[in-house]
Every structure is written in structure tokens, then in C-alpha cells.
Amino acid sequence: MDLEVLERSDRHLRILFKNVPYPILNALRRVIMAEVPTMAVDEVIFVDNTSAIYDEILAHRVGLIPLKSDEALEKYLPPEICLKCEQPEVPSELKELCSRCFVHLTLDVRSDEGVVTVYSGDLKSDDPDVVPVSDKIPIAVLGPNQRIAFEARARLGRGKEHIKWSPVTVAATTYVAKVIIDKEACTLCGECVKVCPEKILKIEGKELKVIDEMKCSLCRQCVKVCKDEAIKIDHYEDRYVLFFETTGALKPEHVLNEGLKILLNKIDKFQKSLKAEGVIK
């Protein structure tokens, strides 16, 4: 297996994988979207709300604000343990664990005169490691003499429970294009160069060349306009690209590492189940 990091930033990661089965890579993508935990507001208790927005709408907006979660994964208990507290009969030891399950946040904004915009930066957290990823996410607009005040609880959750807990905004696996040019059939008319949206084709001298095959989007516009059928678009059978963009709750490297750990743990449990049933040794 070979891999190459094509793009990297504090919010996204694009990696080229070679000789990795596509189903395995797609399983990793699905785990990243649905299984990697992050913090998000789960409960909101309103003290006062005289704005034009209903309580439930405000609660929904607050729940969708991404919270920094890199440190939270080590400090707080996973949702599988916390959700046991919602059972009718809760063991006494679990009742004492709420401080390791929840982060409390408060907000209290009043507009005495004029119009005031309430931002995510107005949320005050009792844990400095769990705060909104941005202070500039608008929550509501207050008119004169209006107020919003509430207390909120955030906990770890997973995207399969609600999208607000997903650490990514998008996660995709794509094929790597293979551009095949028949130099003998090509008349250098240049039509394929004109229609290519990614501008990966170029005529140099008496030859049509591919500038950057990785940028090909497989749209096949070049194939459609080539009357001489001198160009074909296929894809490599052993190369795939994994791309994901985070909400900012976790660093891309952290998302990938957690996703791999969860996927390997699932495979390990599956193997143990097969051994327990005598299917494999």
C-alpha cells in the first residue's frame, strides 16, 4: 500500500491511496462521517427569550454550532456510557459521572437600545477546551429591549445519532482518472482543450499533452467533442482519493486517526465473533 498527501490544511485533507481495496477506503469514509465523536450542545434550558425567534429554533441553531473537541475526546466519556444515565434504573456510580459527560455553557445577551446581533462568541463555557470553533457564527438578532438567556449542556455524540455530531462537512472517495490520447488519430483541432473545465489539456508543438491528470473530474466533455475519437477517459483500478473537510471541531489528522481506530476495532470484534461461532480459527 502506498499513499500520498495531495492537499493538507487545518480544515481539510486529500490523500491518494494506491493498492488499497475501494470497499475498505469507503468503510473508512463512512466511519469518519458517522462514528467519530465530537462535542455538541444537546440540551438547552431557557431562562428568558423575548426575541422574535421561538425557543426550539434557537436551541436547534445552538446545537449546530461546532465546538472544539480535540481535548474533549480524552476528557469526557463516550455517548455509549453517558446515554445509560437516561435509563429508568441508573447505577449509583453512573450518577456521579455527569461532570465527565457534560460541558455547561451559558448565554445572556440583552439589547437596551438599537439592534444587537447575538453571536456564538457570546457563549460562555465552563471548559476552555470546549468552545465554538468561531466567535462569528450569528445566532439571532435582538430588537430594542429584547433578551436571550439560557443554559446549555454539550456532550460527546456521533454523526449517526445526529449530523451536528459529525466532525466533517463532506467526506468523499473518488476515482483517479486515466487520460488516454491516441497521438496518431489526434488532429490537434484543440476542441478538447477548449471544453475541458479543469484545463488539464494543452497543445505543445505538435502534441496534445495532459498537464495534471489528478485534476480530471471524469466529466468526459473532451471525449464528446472529439470527432476523431482520439481521446478516452478511464480510471485506474488501484488508485483512489479520499477527501474530507472538517467542521473545525477536530483537526483533520485527529479525525483520520480516530476513524482508523474505530474501523480496526470493528474488524477486531467481527473477527472475534466469527471465532466464537467456530466459523474461523
> Is 27 in the same domain as 131?
no
Tens of pLDDT, residue by residue over 151-168, are 999 999 999 999 999 999
Tens of pLDDT, residue by residue over 28-45, are 999 999 999 999 999 999
The burial of 82, by beta-carbon neighbours within 10 Å (0-12 exposed, 13-18 middle, 19 or more buried), is given as buried
User: With 80 as the cut, is the pLDDT of residue 255 above it?
Assistant: yes
> Is 116 in the same domain as 230?
no
> Is 195 in the same domain as 217?
yes
> Is 12 in the same domain as 43?
no
Q: What is the rounded average pLDDT for all residues in the chain? A: 92
Indicate yes or no: pTM above 0.75.
yes
The burial of 205, by beta-carbon neighbours within 10 Å (0-12 exposed, 13-18 middle, 19 or more buried), is given as exposed
Question: How many structural domains are present in the chain?
Answer: 2
* Domain boundary, last residue among 136, 165, 194: 165
- In 3D, which of 166, 172, 171 has the Cα closest to residue 250? 166
User: Residue 233 belongs to what domain range?
Assistant: 2-34+169-243
> Is 86 in the same domain as 109?
yes
CA distance 41 to 202: 51
User: With 90 as the cut, is the pLDDT of residue 278 above it?
Assistant: no
Q: Among 76-90, 176-190, 239-253, where is mean pLDDT lowest?
A: 76-90
CATH code: domain of residue 126: 2.170.120.12
Section 220-225 average pLDDT: 93
* Domain boundary, last residue among 165, 183, 199: 165
Contacts by 90-99, CB closer than 8 A, 24 or more apart: none
Angle between helices 252-276 and 22-34 (to 10 degrees): 110
pLDDT computed for residue 100 by the predictor: 80
Q: Does residue 263 form part of some domain? A: no
User: With 90 as the cut, is the pLDDT of residue 62 above it?
Assistant: yes
Q: Does residue 138 form part of some domain? A: yes
> Is 157 in the same domain as 61?
yes
